[in-house]
Amino acid sequence: MIKRDGKVDGWPDAGYPHPQGPFYCGVGVEAVYGRPLAEAHLDACIKAGLKISGINAEVMPGQWEYQIGPSKGIEAGDEMMISRYILKRVCEDFQVHVTLDPKPIPGDWNGAGMHTNFSTEKMRKEGGLSLIESAIKKLGNKHQEHIAAYGEGNERRLTGKYETADINTFSYGVANRGCSIRIPRSTDADGYGYLEDRRPSSNCDPYVVTSKVMDTCCDPDGKEAPISRTDVAMA
């Protein structure tokens, strides 16, 4: 969130704020900036009938995230685009500019991504972990193809630092925020669930991302009904 004077909401007039740490999911005036705007956006999305499932303050002060989904198929793209429109409209009321740039502030800060959580019906049933691992291997085989479609300026974010994998390296792991694909701890423990593609940038086209994930991961006969959930960190 950027104020009309060009400064990030919550940042001092000169220099940088305190190092990241207390801001993520934070509370209190010393740690959180922009909650009224984030909650107004949440309320507007709920009233519009969108499947918005949460919000949280992010790692960088003045940065917030909201989650859309779970949504089925192309509906994920529809709801993400509508939520972005509503966000811009709400920002007018607060006289604040919002940027979806994947690395709006250079330096020792996390960037902004549109982490995409994905599963099929079979992945969510007993034994689904093997299907998830198979899908991850398919994603790895097409890593560069996906990266090329995952958003402009993403190379400034996917550096291998700040909870990202390097843009030229594909990796996956359990509960590992530094991997390309994360298997949630609960999915690993249960043996079924979903995967999280952490590579898409916050400014990506959600239709392109969800279609790429579905095309790569789903069986060619298309009999499985895919479910995707997208979330975006907004700065």
Residue-number span of the structural domain to which 122 is assigned = 2-234
Give the whole-angstrom CA distance, residue 181 versus residue 172. Answer: 5
Give the pLDDT score at 230.
58
Q: What is the mean pLDDT of residues 185-198?
A: 97
Look at residue 222 and tell me whether its pLDDT is greater than 50.
no
**% residues pLDDT > 70 (the chain):** 93
Structural domain count of the chain: 1
**What is residue 30's DSSP assignment?**
T
Most confident of 29-33, 157-161, 215-219: 157-161
In this structure, of 12-26, 118-132, 205-219, the range with the lowest mean pLDDT score is: 12-26
Give the pLDDT score at 73.
85
Give the whole-angstrom CA distance, residue 10 versus residue 213. Answer: 36
Look at residue 141 and tell me whether its pLDDT is greater than 90.
yes
Give the pLDDT score at 225.
45
Look at residue 6 and tell me whether its pLDDT is greater than 90.
no
State the chain's mean pLDDT as an integer: 91
Higher pLDDT, 220 or 175: 175
Kindly report the pTM of this predicted structure. 0.90
**Residues in contact with 229: Cβ distance below 8 Å, sequence separation at least 6, in sequence order:** 53, 67, 68, 69, 70, 71, 76, 116, 117, 118, 194
In this structure, of 15-29, 93-107, 151-165, the range with the lowest mean pLDDT score is: 15-29
Span 74-126, pLDDT tens digits: 899 999 999 999 999 999 999 999 999 999 888 888 899 999 999 999 999 99
Give the pLDDT score at 224.
46
For helices 128-141 and 206-217, give the axis angle rounded to 10 degrees. 110
CATH number at residue 108: 3.30.590.10
Indicate the pLDDT class of residue 15, thresholds 50, 70 and 90: confident
